[in-house]
Structure 1
Amino acid sequence: MPVVVVESPAKAKTINGYLGSDYTVLASYGHVRDLVGKDGSVDTDDWGMTWEVPADSKKRIKDIADALADDPNLILATDPDREGEAISWHLQEALLNRRGIKKDMPVSRVAFNAITKTAVQEAIANPREIDTPLVHAYLARRALDYLVGFNLSPVLWRKLPGAKSAGRVQSVSLRLIVEREMEIEAFDPREYWSVRAMLETPRGQTFEARLVALAGKKLDRFDLADATQAELAVQAVESRDLSVTSVEAKPGTRNPSPPFMTSTLQQEASRKFGMGAKAAMSTAQRLYEAGHITYMRTDGIDMASEAVHAARDAIADRYGKDYVPGSPRMYKNKAKNAQEAHECIRPTDMTKAAGDLRLEADQKKLYDLIWKRTLASQMEAARLERTTVTIADRDEQVELRATGQVVAFEGFMKVYTEGRDDETEASEDDKRLPAIHEGDAARKVAAYADETSDNQLVKAPSNAVLGQQSFTQPPPRYTEATLVKKMEELGIGRPSTYASILGTIVDRGYVRKEGNRLFPEDQGRLVTAFLSNYFRRYVGYDFTAGLEDELDQVSAGDANYKDVLGRFWRDFKAAVDETAELRITDVLEKINEVLEPHLFPDKGDGTDPRLCPRCEEGRLSMRTARSGGAFIGCGRYPECKYTRPFGPPGMEGEQTGEDRMLGVEPESGLEVWLKSGRFGPYVQLGEKTDENPKPKRSSLPKMWAPEALDLDRGLQLLSLPRQVGMHPEDGQPIETNLGRYGPYVMHKRPEDAKPVYANLADEEEVFTIGMNRAVEVLAEKRANPRGAGRQAAKALRDLGEHPENGGAMAVMEGRFGPYVKWEKVNATLPKDVSPEELTVAQAVELIDAKAAKKKPARKGAAKKPAAKKKPAAKKAG
C-alpha cells in the first residue's frame, strides 16, 4: 500500500477516511529535523546547515521506513505552504539518510487546500515534485533567524544584563509597541468643548443636534476652548427659537469586506471574541484538519470559482435572490508582500452553518465567523440613505446639525458586518433620525438634567442644551488585532508567523497584555532602546520589509537564497563586530539619553529632572541590577545610596498588583520587593532563582501599612536581625528582631541552655535601641522572667484612683489591643470605645464586670442535681 505522510494525527485520521484501506496514512508530528542548537550550525562560507533528528522524530521516521519496506511508494501530503514544503523536504532527507528510501526512488508531493474527499483524491491523482524554491525560501528564513539569534542575543547579554533575546521580526514588532507607548507618554492633551441640544419635531419625535456655527462663523474643533466660551455658546442656543432650514438626503451603498486571509481572521477573532492570534490559529487548525474549512495560513483573498457559485446558491437558498448580486464579486489582494497566495479561508461546504455541525465552543464561534464572512463577501451591497439636517435661528446666529442614516436594504449586513478596532470609531452617521421636514419648528426639550461626566459640563436652565468638555486623546495602545494590521501594512513578517511573534515577546517578559491591550515592560523598552541605537538598520521597518521582498523573490524562484544570505551576513557581521568595544557604562548612558523623556520627565520648573532628590548633588541614571532588572540610582554611589524603581518618578507608588518593587539594595544590586503571602505582606531581597533558591525575607509588622512602605523601610526590615553589640559581661552578641509576639531583644550566655528573649515596648526600638537599654531590658527579664514578659504592655492613659476601692487605674496597650488595668484585673476595651474617649465611669464598669467573672464559687454552695437517667427501652421480643 502507498504510504501517505501528513503532519498531524487528526489530519491523518480525516484523510485515511477518504482514501480507505488501499493507503497507509501516517503522521510526522510536524518537523522531523531542526538545526543543531549551538553556534556553527549555519556555515557562513557555503551556507550549509547542520540538522539533527530529535528522539521523538526518530520513532516517526522508523515507522514510515518500516511501512515503505512493503510498498516503496511515498506520498508527502503536508500543508500547501512554505512550512509544509519544508516538512516534506526534511522527511525525504531524513529517510534518505536512514536508507528508508533510495536516491532513485520517486517521491510524490501532493497538496490540497481543503481536506475534502474530492480535493484529496484529486491531489493524489496529480502528484508533483517538491517545490525547490519554496524550500530555499524556508532555508533562507531559518538561517536568518538563526544568525540573528546566535549573534545578536549574546551582544544583548554582555552589554545589557538581563536582556533575554532578540529576533529578526520580534524585535521590530516590539519596537512598534514601545514607540506607541512613548507617543502616549509624550502626548499633551488639548482641551475643547462641544455643544449639543435635544430637539423635538412638531410630531413629538426627539433628535439630538450639534452646534456647528456661532455668530455666523463655522466652529472648528478648538474654537470653544474653555468653560466660559462654552457657556456663552449654550446661552446663545438656549435664547433663540430654532427651525429646520434644510434636509438633505443622499443615497449611498456599503460593500462587504473580502473573505478572510490569515491576518484578517486573527484581527476579527481578536475584535469580536478577544481571541489571541495563537488561539485563533490553533482553533482554525482543528477546523481545517476536520475538513470544515480551507487552509488557514494564506495571504490570498480570492475564491475558487466553484466555491463562489456554491456561496451564491447558499445565499439564494437562505436569504432569497434579492441578496445575490448580478455577477460574482472578485477580490484582489492589496497587501504588501503578498505571496504564496492560496485561496481565502472559507468553509468547505457553504450550505453548512455553525449550527449544522458538531463543534466545540471555540471552534463553533470561529467557524460561524468564517462562514458568515464568506457568504457576506458574495452578497449584494447594503443600500443606505444618509440624511443631514440643518437647524438655525431666524438671524442665523446659531446653526446646529444632525446626521443619521436609514438602511433601505440590508444586503450583506443581514449576515455580517466587520468589527471595529475601537468602538469610538462609530460616527454620528450610524444614528437613526425621525421624519424631519424643512421649515419644521425645532422645540428644545429638557433631556440633560441627569447627564453626568468625568469632565466638566455646562447646562442651560432648561436642561435642553449641554456644553461638554473634552480633551484630545493620545493614539491607542496596540491590541493583537491592530498590531497584526500594522505589521501587515508595513510588510513585516508573514501571516503564519504573527501568532508566534506575539507569543514570544509576551513570554519573554518584553510585553504584557492587560485586557486586550499590549503594554511594553521595562525590559522591552531597554532592548528596543539598545537595538535602535546600535543595530538601527536591523529593527528598521523598511529594511525588514525589504528583506521580506527578497525572500518572496526566492519563493518565486527569482532570486538565489545564498546570495540573499551573503549580503545580509556581510553587513550584519560588521555591525555585531562594532559593538565589541562598547562599555556597559557607555551603553547605559546612551539608553539614559534615549529614554530620558520617560525616565526623567521635565518638571517644568527649570530644575534638572535628573538631580538626585536625596543628596541634591548627584545625577540620576539607569543602572542594571544583578538579577537583570533595571533601576534608577544616584551617580554619587556609594556616598549616596538613593534608588527607585525603573520608570518615571512616582511609579514606585503606582505599581499595581500584590508585588511591588521598592528599589534596589545598593550593595548587592538585588531588587527589593514588597510581596503578599499566606501570612500577610513581607519584603524580599531578590527573586527566587536557581542561584538564589531562598531569598531573604522579612514580614511587615502589623502596625505598618504596606501601601506606605518605601525602600528605606524595606531595607530596615531586611537588615534584621540587628546586632546591637557584644554584652559587656560575657562578650556574646545582643540582637533585636521582630517575632510572632512583637519586637524583642535576645542574648544567650555561654552557660544558658536557651537564649533569653525580652519583649520591647515599641517596634521602632528594634532599629534604635542602644547597648545600655538592651542590657537593662535583658537584666529585668532575667530577674523577673514572668513579669518581664508583661513589660511589653505600654501605658496609654492614667485614669487616677479607683473611686470606690482605691488603687491606680490606667489604659494600657497590650498584645491584643487596649485594656483597663486595676490591680490584678485587666479588662479589654470594647471595639467601639477608643482609649482617648474612655471615661472613669466606663472604666469602673468594665473593671467590675471583669472582677465579677473572676470571683470563685462560694464554699458549700448547693450543687445542681444531676439529671436522672431514663431507663433503657426494653428490646422488643
Structure 2
Amino acid sequence: MATNLLIVESPAKAKTINKYLGKDFEVLASYGHVRDVVPKDGSVDPDKHFEIQWQLNDKSAKHLDQIFRAAKTADNIYLATDPDREGEAISWHLSEIMGKKGLLKGRNVKRVVFTEVTKSAVLDAVANPRDISEWLVDAYKARRALDYLVGFKISPLLWRYVRGAKSAGRVQSPALRLIVEREAEIEAFVSQEYWSMEAQCRHPSQDFTARLIRLDGNKAEQFSLTDSKGAHAARDRILQAADGRLRVTDVSSKERKRRAAPPFTTSTLQQEAGRKLGFPTRKTMQVAQKLYEGIRIGEEGTVGLISYMRTDSVSLSGEALSQLRDVIARDYGIENLPDKPNFYRNKNSNAQEAHEAIRPTSALRRPEQIAQYLSDDERKLYSLVWKRAVASQMIPATMNTVSIDLTAGTEHAFRASGTTVVVAGFLNVYEEGRDARKADEDDDGRKLPALKVGDAVDLQDVVTAQHFTEPPPRFTEASLVKALEEYGIGRPSTYASIISTLLYKDYTTLVNKSFRPTDLGRVLTMFLTEYFTRYVDYNFTAGMEDELDKIAEGKAQWLDVMAGFWKEFGEKIREITLMINGREVKFPGIVELGTDPKSGKPLSARVGQYGAFAQIGTVEDEEKPKFASLRPHQSIFNITASEALELFGLPRELGVVDGQSVIAAVGPFGAYVKKGDTNASLKKEDDPYTIELDRALVLINEKEDFIRNRIIKEFDGSAIQVLNGRFGPYLSDGALNGKIPKDVDPTSVTLEQAQAWLTETGKPARRGFGRGAKKTAAKKVAKKAATKTVAAKKTAVKKAAKKTAAKKAAKKAVKKTAAKKVAKKAAKKAAE
C-alpha cells in the first residue's frame, strides 16, 4: 500500500504527476472544489462573526470516498492543488473534511506548491512542503462571504423590481456597468463630418503620398474642413499655389527603439489570444489549463508545457531566463541577445506578484518540434506563449522614421512619413497585436525616396475624402479584460467567469464579437446605480480587491474587513427594504412612448419576466392592459411609438385550411404558428410579422409528422415510453428522461431494461414529450399520483389515529399515577 497520498484538483494533472513519483505515492484528484457556501439565506451570519455554512458539492462524494480510503493507509498527505487562492482553499477544505472524519490524526499533512507540472518542479515541491496558508484561506473566506452577502441580500430586492433578472454580483455588476455605459456613450454620440486631404506625389525612384499639415497659413486639424464645398475650394487653392510642383522644405530622420512586450500574464494572454487567435477568454483558459497540466510528448512522456496560467506577474525565474538566452543565442544569433536579461515591472498597481509570468516550461521545446503532439488550438496557444517569452528576452527593435515636409506656395504644406526597421531584434520572433492602430503607426514599413531640402517633386493631384467621426467602440472580450484589469475589477482567475456570467444570465450578448447589453442588463444596471450606487462603483470594487490582497498578505484581518463592509452594506439593505415596503422605489426602465391613437390609453415599453415588451394601458384600467413582445433586434430604449404599435398586430391570421384558422403569434417561449391544437415554433429565419401561409403550413406539417412518429414503444401498465427526440431515441415516464445505450435497437427495449436505464440515467423532464405521448403518459402519471395520494391519506389517517390513541393512553396513565399518589397521601394522613 502507498504510504504517501498526494492530492491535486484535476485528473489530468494527477495522471501526469503520478508518472513523476515512485510507487510509494498514490496521486488522486479532488475534481475541483469539494465544498461551497450553502445556497440559502443565512449561510453567512454577520451576527456570529460571519460564520459560514459549507456543504459538499453533489459531484464530490465518490471522489472524496476514494481520497478517504487512501488517507487511512497513508503516513503523509500532500495537498498539491493550484498555487493560488482557489487552490489554497481547495486544500483547506480537504484538510477540514478529513480532519472532521479523524483521518489526519497521526499523519503528516503538508501543502505542496509548484507553478509548472514538470518532474523537477514536482519533486522539489514535495521535498520542500509548507503548511496551509491561513492568510490565503482567510482571503478566500472573505471573498466568498462578500460575494454571498451581495448576491443574497441584493438579489431578492432586485427580483421584485427587475423581472427576469437572475441575480446581482459583487464583481459582475460593475463589469456590466462598463458595457452599459459604453452603449449609452454610443447612443448619445453625434457624428461630425470632416474632410481629409492628401497630395499624390511623383518621383523617379518612387511615388508617394503626403498628408495636409498646413492650410492657408494655419495648422491643418481634423475639423479644418467640414463640408464638401469648403474641401473642394481648399483643393483648388492648393493646386493653384503649387502650380504642379511641391518644394521640399524639411527632411528629418530619427531613430527610436521599440522594446519587446513582457511575457504573458493572465490578462495579456487572454487579450492577445482574442486578437490573434480569435479565442474567447474561456477557451483561452481551457486550452492553457491543458498545456499546464500535461501533454504526452513522444518518448519524453507526459509533461506540462507552460507554467501556471493564473498570474499577474511579469517576472521570470533565473533558470527560465538562462534557458531563454541560450535559445536566442543558438537560434537567432548572439547579436540579438542583450548583455544582460530584460526585467519588466507590472504597470498594474493591484498586481499579485506571487508567481512567474506565463512561459514555456522549457524554451528548448520549439512549437514546430512538438506540433504533432498538440491539437490545433493547443499548438496555436503554445506557439503564442513560446514566442512572447523568447521575444521578451531579445534586444529592442531599432526603427528609423523619416519625415519630409513639402510646401505648395507659402500658405500650404504636406508631410510624408515612413518608418523602416533598421535592426529587427525581437521582431524576428514576435510583435504584439493592437486593438486599434494609431495614425502614426500606419507608416510602419513605408519607404520614401531620398530627398533633400530644396528638391521639387511633381504634384499629380490633391485628393479629398469625406469622413465621419465614429463613436467609441463596443467592448470585445480582449478590450473588456483590459478594462477590468485597469479598473481593478476582479482578478486573473475571475475574468473568464465574469464574461461567461454576463452572457449566461442574458445581461449581454455578443454581436460580431462585441458586447451589447440587453434591455434586462441595462435595467438591472439602472436599478443598482440608483439604489446601490456605492457597490457598483469602480473605485469601491477595486478597493475591496485591495483589501482582499491585504488579507492574503497578512496585513489585514478578514473579520475586520467584513465588519467594516457589513456596517454600511447591512444598513443600506435595511434602508432599501423599507423603501420597497413603503412603495418608494420606482420600477426602473419604464419608457413612456405616448398614447395609443385607437384607445387613447398610454403606450409604454418595459422589461418583464420573459423579455422586453410593449404595453397599452395600465393595471389601474378597468380593462386589462394589452402586451406585445419586442422583436429580437428591438430595445425599449430606442423603439418608437409607431414601431411599438406594429407589435400589436399579432396574432395574425394567415388563412383558413380545412376549416381551421392558421395564425402567427409570439408566446413566452418565442414566435410560433398554430393550426388547431398544433403549435410549431418558427425557425431563426422566420418572422411572425411577415411569414406567409405556405411557409406556416410547412412548419405545422413538420411538427405533426414529428408528433405522429414520436412514440416508438409503450409498455402496458407503465408510464414509461420509448420516444424519438431531437438527438435520437430516449426514455421518459413524464417526470424523468433517460438514455438508451447507443448499440441497442429502441424497438427491442424491454420494460425491465427501461426501468433500469431510467433509474441510472434519468434527469428531470423539461417541457413535455409530444402530444400523443403527453396525453397517454400524463394520464398514467396522474393515475399513479392519485393512487399515491389516496395511500398517503390512508397512512396519515392511521398514523393520526395511533397518535391520538397513544395520547389518550398516556393521559390515562398519568391520571392513574396521580390518583394513586393522592390515595397514598390520604392513607398516610389517616394513619397519623
The residue number in structure 2 matching 1:354 is 367
Checking the alignment, whether the CA contact within 8 Å between 2:74 and 2:107 is kept in structure 1 is no
How far the C-alpha of 1:59 sits from its partner, in A, is 2.0
* Structure of higher CA gyration radius: 1
Residues 244/618 of structure 1: CA separation in 2 closer, same or farther (3 Å cut):
farther
Residues 625/305 of structure 1: CA separation in 2 closer, same or farther (3 Å cut):
closer
The structure with more helix, counted as a fraction of residues: 2
Amino acid at match of 1:251: E
The residue number in structure 2 matching 1:859 is none
Rounded to whole Å, the distance in 1 between the matches of 2:637 and 2:539 is 31
Which one of the candidate residues 452, 472, 478 is aligned to 2:475? Answer: 478
Question: Per-residue CA shift, 1:78-134, capped at 9, x if unaligned?
Answer: 1111011001001111111222222x5331111011111111111111111000000
Checking the alignment, whether the CA contact within 8 Å between 1:116 and 1:348 is kept in structure 2 is yes
How far the C-alpha of 1:612 sits from its partner, in A, is 2.6
The residue number in structure 2 matching 1:257 is 261
Rounded to whole Å, the distance in 1 between the matches of 2:92 and 2:176 is 32
The residue number in structure 2 matching 1:798 is none
Mapped pair 1:304 → 2:317: yes
Rounded to whole Å, the distance in 2 between the matches of 1:708 and 1:688 is 13
How far the C-alpha of 1:709 sits from its partner, in A, is 3.2
Question: Per-residue CA shift, 1:187-239, capped at 9, x if unaligned?
Answer: 011111111121112x2411111111122222121111110110012222333
The residue number in structure 2 matching 1:372 is 387
Give the 3-state SS of the residue equivalent to 1:246 in structure 2: strand
Amino acid at match of 1:171: S
Which one of the candidate residues 409, 419, 435 is aligned to 1:421? Answer: 435
Residues 329/628 of structure 1: CA separation in 2 closer, same or farther (3 Å cut):
same
Rounded to whole Å, the distance in 1 between the matches of 2:56 and 2:565 is 28
Residues 55/623 of structure 1: CA separation in 2 closer, same or farther (3 Å cut):
closer
Rounded to whole Å, the distance in 1 between the matches of 2:186 and 2:318 is 47
Checking the alignment, whether the CA contact within 8 Å between 1:144 and 1:565 is kept in structure 2 is yes
The residue number in structure 1 matching 2:521 is 524
How far the C-alpha of 1:663 sits from its partner, in A, is 4.0
Rounded to whole Å, the distance in 1 between the matches of 2:341 and 2:265 is 19
Checking the alignment, whether the CA contact within 8 Å between 1:261 and 1:298 is kept in structure 2 is yes
Rounded to whole Å, the distance in 2 between the matches of 1:644 and 1:630 is 4
Rounded to whole Å, the distance in 2 between the matches of 1:672 and 1:153 is 35
How far the C-alpha of 1:577 sits from its partner, in A, is 2.0
Question: Per-residue CA shift, 1:133-160, capped at 9, x if unaligned?
Answer: 0000001101111111111111111122
Amino acid at match of 2:420: V
How far the C-alpha of 1:621 sits from its partner, in A, is 3.9
Rounded to whole Å, the distance in 1 between the matches of 2:675 and 2:561 is 50
Amino acid at match of 1:217: N
Checking the alignment, whether the CA contact within 8 Å between 1:625 and 1:664 is kept in structure 2 is no
The residue number in structure 2 matching 1:647 is 636
Amino acid at match of 2:120: T
User: Which runs of structure 2 are paired with 1:697-846 in the superposition (5 Å)?
Assistant: 709=689
Give the 3-state SS of the residue equivalent to 2:279 in structure 1: coil
Rounded to whole Å, the distance in 2 between the matches of 1:174 and 1:374 is 33
Checking the alignment, whether the CA contact within 8 Å between 1:3 and 1:75 is kept in structure 2 is yes
The residue number in structure 2 matching 1:396 is 410
The residue number in structure 1 matching 2:226 is 225
Gaps of 5+ in 1: 446-463, 593-598, 601-609, 655-659, 666-670, 676-680, 717-738, 741-877
Rounded to whole Å, the distance in 1 between the matches of 2:166 and 2:677 is 25
User: Which runs of structure 2 are paired with 1:435-584 in the superposition (5 Å)?
Assistant: 435-438=449-452, 439-445=454-460, 464-580=461-577, 581-582=579-580
Rounded to whole Å, the distance in 2 between the matches of 1:369 and 1:661 is 53
Rounded to whole Å, the distance in 1 between the matches of 2:602 and 2:188 is 22
Mapped pair 1:684 → 2:665: yes
Give the 3-state SS of the residue equivalent to 2:524 in structure 1: helix
Checking the alignment, whether the CA contact within 8 Å between 2:139 and 2:548 is kept in structure 1 is yes
Rounded to whole Å, the distance in 2 between the matches of 1:672 and 1:210 is 59
Amino acid at match of 1:246: D
Checking the alignment, whether the CA contact within 8 Å between 1:661 and 1:674 is kept in structure 2 is no
Which one of the candidate residues 411, 417, 422 is aligned to 1:408? Answer: 422
How far the C-alpha of 1:485 sits from its partner, in A, is 0.6
Checking the alignment, whether the CA contact within 8 Å between 1:192 and 1:222 is kept in structure 2 is yes
The residue number in structure 1 matching 2:333 is 320
Amino acid at match of 1:349: S
How far the C-alpha of 1:644 sits from its partner, in A, is 7.5
Residues 545/64 of structure 1: CA separation in 2 closer, same or farther (3 Å cut):
same
Mapped pair 1:187 → 2:186: no
Which one of the candidate residues 278, 299, 320 is aligned to 2:282? Answer: 278
Amino acid at match of 1:480: E
What TM-score does the superposition give when structure 2 sets the normalisation length? 0.74
Checking the alignment, whether the CA contact within 8 Å between 1:682 and 1:698 is kept in structure 2 is no
Rounded to whole Å, the distance in 2 between the matches of 1:47 and 1:624 is 36
Question: Per-residue CA shift, 1:55-93, capped at 9, x if unaligned?
Answer: 432222221222222222101111111011001001111
Give the 3-state SS of the residue equivalent to 2:594 in structure 1: coil
Residues 369/127 of structure 1: CA separation in 2 closer, same or farther (3 Å cut):
same
How far the C-alpha of 1:622 sits from its partner, in A, is 3.9
Checking the alignment, whether the CA contact within 8 Å between 1:662 and 1:672 is kept in structure 2 is no
Residues 90/696 of structure 1: CA separation in 2 closer, same or farther (3 Å cut):
farther
Rounded to whole Å, the distance in 2 between the matches of 1:639 and 1:495 is 51
Moved more, 414-423 or 310-319: 414-423
How far the C-alpha of 1:482 sits from its partner, in A, is 0.7
Mapped pair 1:56 → 2:39: no
Give the 3-state SS of the residue equivalent to 1:384 in structure 2: strand
Give the 3-state SS of the residue equivalent to 1:249 in structure 2: strand
RMSD: 3.3
Amino acid at match of 1:258: P
Rounded to whole Å, the distance in 2 between the matches of 1:493 and 1:513 is 21
How far the C-alpha of 1:340 sits from its partner, in A, is 5.2
Residues 148/227 of structure 1: CA separation in 2 closer, same or farther (3 Å cut):
same
Residues 228/584 of structure 1: CA separation in 2 closer, same or farther (3 Å cut):
farther
Checking the alignment, whether the CA contact within 8 Å between 2:197 and 2:465 is kept in structure 1 is yes
Question: Per-residue CA shift, 1:838-857, capped at 9, x if unaligned?
Answer: xxxxxxxxxxxxxxxxxxxx
How far the C-alpha of 1:163 sits from its partner, in A, is 1.3
Mapped pair 1:329 → 2:342: yes
Mapped pair 1:66 → 2:55: no
The residue number in structure 2 matching 1:245 is 249
Residues 324/67 of structure 1: CA separation in 2 closer, same or farther (3 Å cut):
same
Give the 3-state SS of the residue equivalent to 2:595 in structure 1: coil
Mapped pair 1:101 → 2:104: yes
Higher RCO (Cα < 8 Å, 6 or more apart) = 2
Amino acid at match of 2:346: N
Q: Percent identity?
A: 44
Rounded to whole Å, the distance in 2 between the matches of 1:543 and 1:561 is 17
Checking the alignment, whether the CA contact within 8 Å between 1:252 and 1:383 is kept in structure 2 is yes
Question: Per-residue CA shift, 1:296-328, capped at 9, x if unaligned?
Answer: 001111100111111111111111011111111
Amino acid at match of 2:397: A
Rounded to whole Å, the distance in 2 between the matches of 1:696 and 1:510 is 35
Rounded to whole Å, the distance in 2 between the matches of 1:137 and 1:537 is 22
Rounded to whole Å, the distance in 2 between the matches of 1:661 and 1:373 is 56
Rounded to whole Å, the distance in 2 between the matches of 1:476 and 1:661 is 32
Gaps of 5+ in 2: 295-303, 655-661, 694-699, 702-832
Checking the alignment, whether the CA contact within 8 Å between 1:663 and 1:672 is kept in structure 2 is no
User: Which runs of structure 2 are paired with 1:600-679 in the superposition (5 Å)?
Assistant: 610-612=593-595, 614=597, 620-625=603-608, 627=610, 629-631=612-614, 633=616, 638=623, 645=630, 646-650=635-639, 663=647
Rounded to whole Å, the distance in 1 between the matches of 2:538 and 2:40 is 29
Give the 3-state SS of the residue equivalent to 2:421 in structure 1: strand
How far the C-alpha of 1:287 sits from its partner, in A, is 0.3
Question: Per-residue CA shift, 1:521-555, capped at 9, x if unaligned?
Answer: 11000100110101111100011111111111100
The residue number in structure 1 matching 2:179 is 177
Give the 3-state SS of the residue equivalent to 1:39 in structure 2: coil
The residue number in structure 2 matching 1:38 is 40
Rounded to whole Å, the distance in 2 between the matches of 1:578 and 1:536 is 13
Give the 3-state SS of the residue equivalent to 1:427 in structure 2: helix
The residue number in structure 2 matching 1:126 is 128
Checking the alignment, whether the CA contact within 8 Å between 1:505 and 1:511 is kept in structure 2 is yes
